[in-house]
């Protein structure tokens, strides 16, 4: 049974991109009101009075797009300097990163994951949506800034969609040859994107591994992280290639994480809301955090069973909430 000590914290459910696989056009997203976002002070209290006493020590900030929070640097500084924090990372689309990378580093952030689904600005624009010129140059500049500042490991997340970006898998893997970057291919999941999923389907990790293996060969690799990626290395490459295979190889029984939504709901699972707890309302009502801690401990106790049930059912259904709402 894995130790559950890893919390993914969604800072915001809004985004400056509208990726076709995450926030498909036409989807009716009910955004959380800004006054309902957990504030910096509330987050700090929840971490120090509930999560850390229960053994949580590893945290990831996500969203929506976490860099849209104007206080993201302060939140990073707070969490990075809590005595029980062993690991802090962020997942971002990097559009705003070039101006923030140094500040985030100075605040104590060391690990970063960036979504980069294509090296072709036109394909990229088709995926992330929006009119006008492609936003790829800003994202690439953000990645370069993160590299210059020294974030390590620097991971690039690629959601592979057949007929959209699967022809770029070798080019993306080639980024690891002469850079200490870690490119991770994520199997496309049916979360809030029914039409695209039915239309395109998904590619399994083994198919991608075969393509990379045929081109260069592949050996086992290693990289620091808390997630379920299977890590490999092209012989002689500086970086690694990883595969996140939640569709083809359900890893729910190994799941070590809980999720906190932007409006303060604690969820035991990405896809299963069983037992979820509203932490914000009691916190704002001045209720006892010790009592709340007991409820969180009970949910932690129930998680192995939830993991087991998810493993039995697999990631088969189509889910109506999007990743941006749940906090991917």
By C-beta, is 16 or 84 nearer to ligand SAM?
Answer: 16
Q: Does 323 bind ligand SAM (CB under 6 A)?
A: yes
Minimum separation from the CB atom of position 11 to ligand SAM (A): 10
186 binds ligand SAM (CB under 6 A): yes
CB of 91 or CB of 245, closer to ligand SAM: 91
Residue 62 near ligand SAM by CB under 6 A:
yes
Q: Does 205 bind ligand SAM (CB under 6 A)?
A: no
Contact string (CB under 6 A) for ligand SAM, positions 250-289, x = contact: ----------------------------------------
Which residues is 159 bridged to in the sheet? 186
Determine if the peptide bond prior to 153 is cis (ω within 30°). yes
Q: Which does 23 bind (CB under 5 to 8 A by kind): ligand SAM, ligand SF4, none?
A: ligand SF4
Total residues in contact with ligand SAM, by rule CB under 6 A: 20
For 56-67, b/e burial (b = at least 16 CB within 10 A) is: bbbbbbbbbbbb
- From candidates 98, 115, 205, 261, binder to ligand SAM by CB under 6 A: 115
Nearer to ligand SF4, 52 or 186 (CB): 186
What residues contact residue 106 under an 8 Å CB cut-off, 6+ apart? none
**CA dihedral for 32, 189, 235, 220, sign (positive or negative):** positive
- DSSP secondary structure letters along 80-130: HTSTT--EEEEEE--TTHHHHHHHHHHHT--EEEEE---SSHHHHHHHH--
Q: Which residues bind ligand SAM (CB under 6 A)?
A: 15, 21-22, 62-63, 65, 91-93, 115, 157, 159, 186, 188-189, 191, 193, 323-324, 328
């Amino acid at each position: 049974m894995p130790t559950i000590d890893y919390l993914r914290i969604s800072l915001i459910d809004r985004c400056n991109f509208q990726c076709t696989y995450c926030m498909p056009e036409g989807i009716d997203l009910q955004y959380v009101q800004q006054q309902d976002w957990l504030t910096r002070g509330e987050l700090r209290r929840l971490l120090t009075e509930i999560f850390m006493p229960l053994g949580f020590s590893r945290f990831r900030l996500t969203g929506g797009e976490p860099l849209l929070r104007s206080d993201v640097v302060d939140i990073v500084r707070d969490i990075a300097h809590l005595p029980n924090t062993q690991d802090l990372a962020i997942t971002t689309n990097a559009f705003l990163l070039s101006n923030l990378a140094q500040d985030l580093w100075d605040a104590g952030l060391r690990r970063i994951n960036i979504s980069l689904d294509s090296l072709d600005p036109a394909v990229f624009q088709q995926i992330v949506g929006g009119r006008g010129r492609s936003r790829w140059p800003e994202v690439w500049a953000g990645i370069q800034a993160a590299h210059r500042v020294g974030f390590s490991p620097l991971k690039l997340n690629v959601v592979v969609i057949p007929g959209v970006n699967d022809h770029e898998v070798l080019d993306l893997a080639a980024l690891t040859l002469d850079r200490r970057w870690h490119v991770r291919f994520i199997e496309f999941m049916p979360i809030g994107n029914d039409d695209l999923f039915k239309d395109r389907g998904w590619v399994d990790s083994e198919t991608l591994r075969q393509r990379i293996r045929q081109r260069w060969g592949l050996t086992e690799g290693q990289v620091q992280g808390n997630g379920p990626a299977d890590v490999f290395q092209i012989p002689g490459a500086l970086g690694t290639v990883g595969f996140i295979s939640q569709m083809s190889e359900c890893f729910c029984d190994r799941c070590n994480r809980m999720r906190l939504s932007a409006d303060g709901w604690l969820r035991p699972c990405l896809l299963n809301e069983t037992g979820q707890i509203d932490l914000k309302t009691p916190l704002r009502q001045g209720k006892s955090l010790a009592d709340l801690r007991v409820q969180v401990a009970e949910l932690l106790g129930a998680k192995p069973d939830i993991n087991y049930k998810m493993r039995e059912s697999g990631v088969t259904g189509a889910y109506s909430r999007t990743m941006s709402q749940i906090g991917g």
